[in-house]
Amino acid sequence: MLRSGGLTPAPMKRRLASSLAALLSAAAALSACQGTEDQGPVNLSKGVPVGAVLALTGNANVYGQDQKIGIELSLAALNGAGGVNGKPLSLSIEDGGSAEPSANAAVSLQINRGILALIGPTLSQQSFSAGPIAQRRGVPLVAPSNTATGIPEIGYFISRVSAQSSVIAPLSIAKALQLNPGIRRAAVFYAQDDAYSTAETVIFQQALTAKGLKPVTVQRTQLNDQDFQSQITAALNQKPDLVVLSLQAMDGGNLIRQLRELGYRGAIVVGNGMNTPNIYPICQKYCDGILIAQAYSPELQTPANQRFTAAFAAAQARNPKVSPIPPQLTAQAYTAMQVIGEALARLDRRQPLKGLPLAQARKALMAEILGGTYQTPLGEIRFTPEGEVIQKNFFVAQVRMNAGGKSGRFSLLP
């Protein structure tokens, strides 16, 4: 018969105890990494420390790569102009992956390194998870691409330079109606398993309803879908003359191609997820004519934007395959770095960073970030006391594909 527990021999107890002890020491050793004391002075030995956490791997990696270029260009521009009153900025970029645990780990790592401010994370969902860490530790966090409602509301130290979709999305609907006042029947598509998509479609649907165009059909897709025949057929049965998409570049591009192939001729409005030149190779000639509202236009004629577009084109010249025209994500990341750089310079003039305790420097920097006005590639921006961006210019662009359908551009509409 099997012996049931109760009388445990001493060696077994010792084995359990020693196993647990070994386990805990192994865990402690594995996670051992040096944290810095927040009360000590700012470490300026390698320059003024700033960090970024971007989605360089996982399904959001294309966004992170675009942002990395923008941050690095901005860093070069700031340091070229003397850095923080003569001291160069030193930037460390960490991969936050495309999930919450990896973003949290990267944010904690950067804060432990003693950085003064943080750019990122790429996705709104990651900010909802990692933002509270920065808030608790009192580190200014400037989100370059979060568009969900509620990001600056995480706390005082959280701000963003990316206007939320509720501000931008309705503009493209208004423009579509202005171009074609006869539009009566709108069809809406969104990916139900994608956070961006589900959040933006609500705003699109509200904007449509406000214009008296209650959607005749709302079709749901999945982020990784390739074939949209059934949803498109169901939508086309409702005879729409406007199609509104809240989808990412890959699935959205495919859906547009199939929509046109199945005979749809009406207007198409897309959301922020397709605000990238990466859609051209996917929907090719069928991309032509789609409308999009943007927080950035490469065609904006301001000195700040001309400097940025020139720097971008020069950096991309080495690789003739990629477009020399910067996407919105790159411009916003550039802006986030610029905001931090300029705020640091102002702070340093007011209270020299040398010798200032780290925690106090971070707090003062946050006040400085919120207090400033910035001439950026996005146009002039400021912040509300909560940290929400106040942006002067928004744009509606129409995609114009070149003959052959391999390349195109977002052409700014007046």
Partner 1 sequence: MDAGLLEQMLLGALLGLSVYLPLRCGQLSLATPGFFAIGGTVAALLSTRVPALAGSGSTYPITSVLLEMALAALLTGVLALGLGRVVLRLRGIYLAIATIALVEILRVVTLNLEFTGGALGIFGIPQPFNSAAGYAAFTLALLALICWLCDRLEKTRPGRAMAAIRDDELAAASQGINTADTKLLAFVLSALVAGITGVVAAHFLNSWNAKLGNFDASITTLAFVVFGGSRTWLGPVFGGLLLTALPELLRPVGDLRLIVFGAVILVGPLFFPQGVITPELFKWFKPRIGGITTAAAQGVKQ
Q: What are the tokens at 245? A: 């998409």
Q: Phi and psi for 136 in degrees, rounded to 5?
A: -65, -35
Going by C-alpha positions, the residue among 245, 331, 338 that lies closest to residue 286 is 245
The count of residues in the chain is 414
Stated as kind and residue range, the H or E segment containing 89 is strand 89-95
Transcribe 26-88 into DSSP letters. Answer: HHHHHH--PPPPTTSBP--BTBEEEEEEE--SSTTHHHHHHHHHHHHHHHHHHHHTTTBTTBP
Smallest distance from the beta carbon of 392 to partner 1, in angstroms?
A: 29
d(CA 370, CA 156) in angstroms, rounded, equals 10
Please, which residue, 19 or 237, has the CB nearer to partner 1?
19
d(CA 92, CA 96) in angstroms, rounded, equals 12
d(CA 104, CA 109) in angstroms, rounded, equals 9
Smallest distance from the beta carbon of 21 to partner 1, in angstroms?
A: 10
| Residue whose tokens read 């399904």 | 59
Please, which residue, 12 or 314, has the CB nearer to partner 1?
12
Please, which residue, 43 or 351, has the CB nearer to partner 1?
43
Smallest distance from the beta carbon of 193 to partner 1, in angstroms?
A: 5
Smallest distance from the beta carbon of 132 to partner 1, in angstroms?
A: 4
Smallest distance from the beta carbon of 105 to partner 1, in angstroms?
A: 5
Please, which residue, 57 or 302, has the CB nearer to partner 1?
57
Beta-bridged to residue 408, according to DSSP, are 401
d(CA 337, CA 348) in angstroms, rounded, equals 16
Smallest distance from the beta carbon of 126 to partner 1, in angstroms?
A: 9
Please, which residue, 131 or 379, has the CB nearer to partner 1?
131
Give exposure, 266-296, as e/b (b: 16+ Cβ within 10 Å): bbbbbbbbbbbbbbbebbbebbbebbbbbbb
d(CA 374, CA 317) in angstroms, rounded, equals 28
Smallest distance from the beta carbon of 195 to partner 1, in angstroms?
A: 4
Please, which residue, 1 or 403, has the CB nearer to partner 1?
1
Please, which residue, 224 or 411, has the CB nearer to partner 1?
224
- The identity of residue 91, as a single letter, is L
d(CA 368, CA 387) in angstroms, rounded, equals 11
Please, which residue, 11 or 320, has the CB nearer to partner 1?
11
Going by C-alpha positions, the residue among 381, 379, 335, 371 that lies closest to residue 350 is 371
Please, which residue, 109 or 167, has the CB nearer to partner 1?
109
Smallest distance from the beta carbon of 38 to partner 1, in angstroms?
A: 12
Smallest distance from the beta carbon of 90 to partner 1, in angstroms?
A: 17
Q: What are the tokens at 27? A: 């865990």
Please, which residue, 100 or 299, has the CB nearer to partner 1?
100
Smallest distance from the beta carbon of 368 to partner 1, in angstroms?
A: 26
Binding residues for partner 1, rule: CB under 8 A, are 2-5, 8, 12, 15-16, 18-20, 23-24, 26-28, 30-33, 35, 56-57, 94-95, 99-102, 104-105, 108-109, 112, 124-125, 128-133, 136, 148, 150, 154, 191-195, 197-199
